[in-house]
Structure 1
């Protein structure tokens, strides 16, 4: 993976068109975002993109939604930037041909073993304790009852929604299904995949069914299949921070999901101490994010839900509760209307809000947060809404009732052109160029000694260096450095600076 900033986006929500329109934004002499990103994570673009979960319930994972283009368009985009795609390993749509065949033919279907039933996991039945041991990301039990054509009633495992039917990844049918997806992506020159919901992929009676040793084994096996096809693997897990560290030792790449709430905590409580403690122990093989297509993770810095007394979080429980409330206040109550029981598609561990609104639309704080993100070891990713300093989309939330839609706006080309004239967006683009081009970011990282309310970091490579200092109490800050012996200082309140033109 290139050590450059990446973009995360839906194909149809940035530019209002398909893959060719997105490519026109990212590459070419007249592309407004040309040369800005080393890679792009295309959120699910498979048939179809408008199911029960915004494409994360694919009907056909090996087919591009025809409204967006085809595999040739994916391959053309991969000529300009590295392309990452999702492999939804845990489930597929209840509308998929495979599941419909199973409903039609029952145990005689060629796909009978592909879908995970209650009996397959609990052949001897389950006790109350067995069921309560299952880790749940959402309220309720992970089961849905279905009636087959012959009248049989089956209890299906559905971790997320009734339309997302879990598959048995250990079954030969499941392995063939996932192997076919990987090959299709490799043929289209996709160089990296994100394993969506992989933490729930393995089920074992009497256990949590989440990130068990068997899950790590499966991830290793899948990663080997991907590596054989020249594809890197990113694992997407929201979990207790120590567990994230353990996961990172076993995989290519993980997300730093603790970073967004810790940055918000630093601004809210005027202290850098929890953030500095995390920087001291966090995985280096991480993709840093402040925002994604999901909400702002809370579980990632909280106490271990399995043993809160013995495994405290990165911040105290009381401060975590206050932080959630601060986000609600900063967003003028919008995030409260989109989070938890207030909206469907529940995620108990996330607050649904744009990061810009979580910081009360404070341009300076927002740019400082991005600078912190870009300074941490790893590869930064910027979500398309965050790229344009997008605000909470209350109209979309009202139309769909889906909480995460508050941060899944549609930007047509005119919207993008207008957003690119905003000073906060212009400065963010310059920060991205600085992160991509300054040679020090390919060198060594240091967390410098500083007061409790201050974060100080340094990158250096030979005579080249770049430093960032942020005081969370006063918002005093400095981003400075040296390139080929020439000193510079990057200003957060100017339209341009010498640092923005630093070349490798």
Structure 2
């Protein structure tokens, strides 16, 4: 099996919360330019809006056009963007119940000028709803996506896909588009050049569908993309789902996430079986954002079968049901049960499609396995994004989980400058940094890519007419070799 791609890769990016890696925007820039000097071309700054510490770690802003003053100002963001490509979240699907707009609706109901912004059950089903309609709606957490609230003195069923403090928006209205473009203008006007469309798949609610990635959602993505492109920004679509959905979406947007890569690499390293990963490499989009871990959990739905419907019996996944069950059990075992405490009914974020765990703990704290996973991530076509906890070989933060009760917080550690400096002294962290510098500097990554599988050995190569770089991974032995020009390379010594 040989796979080839002529789509060049772009430089690595960091993923981090400003408050949890540096303390604020100025502190994050200091970390980027001091401890991580010359490592990353860009940074995804997780939500920095007001407030950054709400019910969903910033994904429920009261004001999406303001930087929380505790983190800094637009001047700080522009300073960061002067040296690094900055990606920010465009939270498309919902707004906080604490926002001025929704509070006005709570007071005045339909008489509020902001009422068209927000969805209730009757917004989508004005003539009533059947049991079949309700059962069909896709939601990433148990139960129906509605919360009973009082709006203008009347009890209403308000559409809340994620939490009861995040109210879904009506994308069909002029008020929505005015609101959304004000955010895009604020971000692109202050140095942001890559917009991550958060939860956009849930925006297009249409009767008779599962209300997920509907034609309305796709049309909105295109409209946002056109508006962003005119302002010099690219768009990344954030969608968890069957792997064929990512392939389809990738044809019409700038970037999609490769959410299948993290579980497939875990399977390959734990079971010594890279065959499912190799099958994915044959079809995966080259315009991918490559991740191992993010601020969310490790996706499982992304490698599983599609959900059967009345017209579709379902399509197989990249892993079968037994392989998925074995993988999830292995993650819980490798993490000494800490991931089990943070996932599903054990935690308040009841994500049905993710396991909450640091990538390092999912690999049982195996330094060599983590480095191999990072090297494979860096060698694939696309833009590699490296989450700060994974980079620093972080363990599940059980103290933070106990304090918040939020499962995802096991992988969202709050780190001081001293914590970061101590982590960087670890060999596995220094080796990862060397690998990322290699990805940034080696000229072969501007060339052509190919991959070849031979039993448990996966070989990844980049070539130009003058340079070449080859990564050979033996998943049965959990070992790798790195060669350039036919000469073996010592990672840390050559590229630190």
TM-score range, shorter-chain basis? over 0.9
Deviations, residues 189-221 of structure 1 (Å, cap 9, x unaligned):
110110000000110011111011221111001
Counterpart pick for 2:25 among 19, 22, 32:
19
Task: Name the residue aligned to 1:130.
Answer: 133
Equivalence map 1:320-469=2 (5 Å): 320-448=324-452, 450-469=453-472
Is the CA contact 2:78–2:191 (under 8 Å) kept in the aligned structure 1?
Answer: yes
Task: Name the residue aligned to 2:191.
Answer: 189
Deviations, residues 445-489 of structure 1 (Å, cap 9, x unaligned):
0012x322111111101120001111111123211112xxxx542
- Partners of 2:434 and 2:297 in 1: CA distance: 26
- Partners of 1:290 and 1:138 in 2: CA distance: 23
Q: 1:406 to 1:316 in 2, by over 3 A?
A: same
- Partners of 2:490 and 2:341 in 1: CA distance: 36
RMSD (CA atoms): 1.3
Is the CA contact 2:308–2:314 (under 8 Å) kept in the aligned structure 1?
Answer: no
- Partners of 1:435 and 1:216 in 2: CA distance: 33
Deviation at 1:243, TM superposition (A): 0.9
> Which runs of no fewer than 5 residues in structure 1 stay unpaired?
none
Matched residue SS, 1:14: coil
- Partners of 1:128 and 1:108 in 2: CA distance: 30
- Partners of 1:123 and 1:452 in 2: CA distance: 57
Number of equivalent positions: 487
- TM-score, normalization by structure 2: 0.96
Task: Name the residue aligned to 2:295.
Answer: 293
Deviation at 1:310, TM superposition (A): 4.3
Task: Name the residue aligned to 1:9.
Answer: 16
Matched residue SS, 2:235: strand
- TM-score, normalization by structure 1: 0.95
Is the CA contact 1:299–1:349 (under 8 Å) kept in the aligned structure 2?
Answer: yes
Matched residue SS, 1:497: helix
- Partners of 1:66 and 1:310 in 2: CA distance: 48
Task: Name the residue aligned to 1:489.
Answer: 488
Task: Name the residue aligned to 1:63.
Answer: 66
Report the more deviating stretch, 70-79 or 473-482. 473-482
Deviation at 1:272, TM superposition (A): 1.1
Is the CA contact 1:371–1:431 (under 8 Å) kept in the aligned structure 2?
Answer: yes
Deviation at 1:155, TM superposition (A): 1.2
1:32 maps onto 2:35 in alignment: yes
**Which has the bigger relative contact order, CA under 8 A and spacing at least 6?**
2
Is the CA contact 2:204–2:215 (under 8 Å) kept in the aligned structure 1?
Answer: no
Deviations, residues 383-406 of structure 1 (Å, cap 9, x unaligned):
010111111101101111100000
Is the CA contact 2:368–2:479 (under 8 Å) kept in the aligned structure 1?
Answer: no
Counterpart pick for 2:217 among 209, 215, 218:
215
Deviations, residues 390-434 of structure 1 (Å, cap 9, x unaligned):
111011011111000000001100001111111110111000000
Deviation at 1:152, TM superposition (A): 1.3
- Partners of 1:352 and 1:288 in 2: CA distance: 19
Is the CA contact 1:194–1:234 (under 8 Å) kept in the aligned structure 2?
Answer: yes
Deviations, residues 266-297 of structure 1 (Å, cap 9, x unaligned):
01221111000000100000000000000000
